[in-house]
Amino acid sequence: MNNIFLLSSYIKLAFMSLKKGLSLSVYLAIAAFIISSCGERPAQKGDSVKDVKIDSTKSSIVNVSGKLFSIPSPIQTALLIKESDAPYNKDVLSNPKNADKYTAKFDRALNLGIYGADMAYTSFYEDPQESIKYFRALDLLSENLEIKGAVDAGIIKRLSGNLENPDSLLILSGKFYEAADIYLKENERADVAALILTGTWIESTMLTARAAKGDNKNAFARLAQQKKSINTICDVLASLNSDGMIPQNFIGQLDSLKSSFANVSREYEYNEPVTYADTKTTRITSTSTYEMSDSVFTDISDRLTRMRNEIIN
Amino acid sequence: MKLVTAIVLFIAALFASQYTYAQCDTTAHYAGNYLGSSFVSDGQSYRALIYDDQIAEFTTTFYGDQTYRIVAFSGMEKEQIIFSVYDENDRELFSNENYQNSPYWDFEIESTIDCRIEAKLDPVKQKSGCAVLLIGFER
| CA proximity to B57, closest of A281, A90, A23, A67 | A67
CA B80 to CA B74: how far, in whole Å? 6
Judging contacts by C-beta atoms under 8 Å, the chain B residues touching residue A21 are: 2
Q: Do A174 and B51 touch (CB under 8 A)?
A: no
Residues 60 to 99 of B: which have CB under 8 A from any A CB?
60-66, 85, 87-89, 91, 93-94, 99
Q: Give the C-alpha separation, A290 to A205, whole Å.
A: 16
Q: What would the pLDDT profile of A241-280 be if each residue is shown by its tens digit?
A: 777 888 999 999 999 999 999 999 999 999 999 999 999 9
Confidence category of residue B19, pLDDT binned at 50, 70, 90: low
Q: Hey, are the CB atoms on B48 and A286 less than 8 Å from each other?
A: no
What residues in A contact B31, CB-CB < 8 Å?
Answer: 49
pTM reported for the whole predicted model: 0.75
| For chain B, domain boundaries | 2-138
Residues B96-118 have a mean pLDDT of 94
Interface predicted TM-score (ipTM) over 0.95: no
Nearest to A262 by CA among A306, A217, A208, A303: A303
Q: Are the C-beta atoms of residues A172 and A162 closer than 8 Å to each other?
A: yes
What pLDDT was estimated at residue A308? 97
Sheet holding A281-284, edge to edge: A274-276, A281-284, B104-109, B66-74, B128-138, B39-51
Does residue A169 sit at the B interface (CB-CB below 8 Å)?
no
d(C-alpha B10, C-alpha B7), whole Å: 5
% of chain A with per-residue pLDDT over 70: 71
Q: How far apart are CA B88 and CA B115, in angstroms?
A: 6
Residue B127 C-alpha, separation from nearest chain A C-alpha, in angstroms = 12
**Which of B49, B55, B99, B133 to mutate: most A Cβ within 10 Å?**
B49
The yes-or-no verdict on residue B18 having pLDDT over 80 is no
CATH, domain range B2-138: 2.60.120.380
Cβ–Cβ under 8 Å, residues A228 and B61: yes
